Chains A and B, each alone.
Chain A
Amino acid sequence: MAITTYTAGEVLTAASLNNNFASGGLQLIKTQTIGTTVAAITVTGAFSATYDNYLITVNGGVASGDGSMTLILGSTTANYRYSAIYQDYSAATVTGLSSNSASNWLGVAQNSTSTNNGQIFLSDPFAAKNTTATWSGIRTNSNGQTLQGRGALADTTSYTAFTLTTSSGTVTGGTIRVYGYANS
C-alpha cells in the first residue's frame, strides 16, 4: 500500500502507522546467522510475490582463507550469465571475468580470515521471468581485492531460495540478511 502522509494536528492511528512501516523502503525479510566451518549456506523462504527487487547482504564472520562465494537460485546450476571485474589492492590492473553459460554467479561476496562481505541486488527472482543481479564484495585484508559483477539467469523459473557456496575452504559466523524493496 502507498505511504500515508499526514497534516498538522491529525490523529495518527496505529493501523495507519503500521501500514507506513510495512510500505516503502527496504523491508527486512530474513536474517540468517552463518554456522561454524560451513562450505555452503542455503536460505529458504527468501523470495515471494510481495517484492520484485531484493537486497542480500553478507557481513562479518571469518573464512578459513582468502576466497569468495558463488550464488545459485533454487537448485539451478545452468544458464547463469555474468560479467565481472576485480582488482587486487596490490595491483594496478583490473581483471575481467565473464560467461554466458555458467553454473552460478561468482564472486558475489569476498571472504578472508578478517571478515566476509558482499551485497547482491536481485530483480525478479520470484517472478516467472529472467532474474538479473548486480553484486559487489570487498576483501578487507592488505592482500585483498574488490569485485563487482552483473548478470542474468536466463530461465523463467520462480525461486524462493538461494545458496551461497564458498569458492574454497569454509566460513564461520557472520550474518546473511535478505531485504525486499517495497513495490509501492
Chain B
Amino acid sequence: MTYAEAIAMYPHDSVHIQIDDVVRLMTPTEYEEFIQRQVEPQPLS
C-alpha cells in the first residue's frame, strides 16, 4: 500500500508526522512535499 492509499483510508485530511522528537500535523500535500526533499539540509520549521 502506498502512502497515498494509506492517507485515503483516514477520515481526516491530515496526519501526525514525527521527525526525530517533533510531532506535527501534516496534510497529505505537505507530506508529499516533505518526502520530496532531503530532511537533513532543510529541517521543518
Contact = CB atoms under 8 A, between A and B. Distances in A.
Interface of A: 32-45, 70, 72, 74-75, 77, 103, 160-161, 163, 165-170
Interface in B1-45: 1-3, 6, 9, 15-21, 23, 31, 35-40, 43
Contacts of B43: 44
A154 to B, nearest CB: 19
Interface of B: 1-3, 6, 9, 15-21, 23, 31, 35-40, 43
Nearest to A34: B18
A75 B20 CA distance: 15
Contact of A74 (B17, B19, B38): B38
Contact of B9 (A43, A75, A168): A168
Contacts of A168: 1, 6, 9
Nearest to A42: B19
Contacts of A44: 19-20, 39-40, 43
When A and B form their complex, which 10 residue pairs have the shortest distance between CB atoms, in order from nearest?
A35-B23, A39-B15, A38-B18, A41-B18, A42-B19, A38-B16, A35-B18, A167-B1, A40-B17, A161-B39
Contacts of A36: 16, 23
Given A166-B6, A167-B1, A42 B38 contact: no
A42 B18 contact: yes
26 contacts: A33-B21, A34-B18, A36-B16, A37-B16, A38-B18, A39-B6, A40-B3, A42-B18, A42-B19, A42-B39, A43-B20, A75-B35, A75-B36, A75-B38, A77-B35, A160-B40, A161-B39, A161-B40, A163-B39, A165-B6, A167-B6, A168-B1, A168-B6, A168-B9, A170-B15, A170-B16
Chain A interface, >50% SS class: loop
Contacts of B35: 72, 75, 77, 163
A165 B39 contact: no
Instruction: Name the residue among A41, A42, A45, A161 with the largest chain B CB count within 10 angstroms.
Output: A42
